[in-house]
Amino acid sequence: MKAVAIVGTGLMGTDIAFTSASAGFEVLLYDMAKDRLTAALGRIRNRIDRYRDAGKIDKKSGEALMKRIIPCDSFDEVKSATIVLECVFEEIGSKREVFREMDRVCRADAVLGSNTSSISITEIASATNRPESVIGIHFMNPAHIMQLVEIIPGIATTRETVEVAKTFVKKLGKTHVESKDYPGFLLNRMLVPMINEAIYLLYEGSGTAESIDRVMKLGLNLPMGPLALADMIGLDVLVAVIEEMHRGYSDAKYRPCPMLKKYVAAGYLGKKSGRGFYIYND
């Protein structure tokens, strides 16, 4: 297990690429949008420069890390990887299209992983002719810091595929938990309704964003309040996750708050857009 491919260079894909390269893997990095790929490489380079300036990494190690990340001009270039991890937007159609391409180009023994945080692995795997090789490998945000990774086998996923995914996660220095393949898995099944309820509190005027977050931080000793966490996740991602859970369970408790949907419609996506439940100046 030497080469890992990452498909999709959003915040998670970029961070997982950095994390994998830091652990010594060769990383094949692909995005259909060349400007996103270029931007991702720039973010990784900037992080390495910051680490070097802070004394966390020396120049030689930083250069070696950067060389292990290889940008790919076409999807076909990921075919040599033993693990190919999809990190595109949380939408079933987009993910199934990526997996159809994985099925076409990837080697027969490759593990095809999805970083989905809510969508059924079984449903994603049905886009391929090898559902036994498809598995969820859900990293937390930010991936280079957070220790937990959820491993989610689909209905046809073999134990061999599960063990390869676990070995990969261990080599990254992460801790895994295995979850059943139900919408939201373990973490988001608990976390997303809590965040959504905090948004309802704000929507109903029960408290300010600051007071709602302060209650959770001081009352439960959480490092971050739910609204600040929503901004970090990205409100567009949050809407996609909760709507997928609503679709999967047909339960009103997963109905997204109207304020959340309005913010996304307005382009208030959280930290990445400079405005969400809070305003960000950098």
Is 117 annotated in the active site? Answer: yes
Pairing status of strand 83-86 against strand 69-71 = unpaired
Alpha-carbon distance of 272 to 222, in angstroms, equals 22
Taking each helix axis from N to C end, the angle separating 226-233 and 235-249, rounded to the nearest 10 degrees, works out to 100
Which one, of 30, 28, 26, lies nearest residue 10 by Cα? 30
**Active-site residue, 86 included:** no
Q: Please state the φ and ψ torsions of residue 189, each to the nearest 5 degrees.
A: -60, -35
What span, in angstroms and rounded, lies between the C-alpha atoms of 117 and 152?
Answer: 10
Q: Which of 20, 22, 117, 120 is catalytic?
A: 117
> CB within 8 A of 142, min separation 6: which ones?
11, 15
Question: Catalytic site residue 115?
Answer: no
Q: Which residue has the tokens 């809590």?
A: 194
Catalytic residue among 138, 176, 179, 244: 138
- Known catalytic residue: 246? no
Catalytic residue among 115, 133, 179, 188: 188
> What's the CA gap between 136 and 150, in Å, rounded?
7
150, 176, 196, 244: the catalytic one is 150
Catalytic residue numbers read: 117, 138, 150, 188
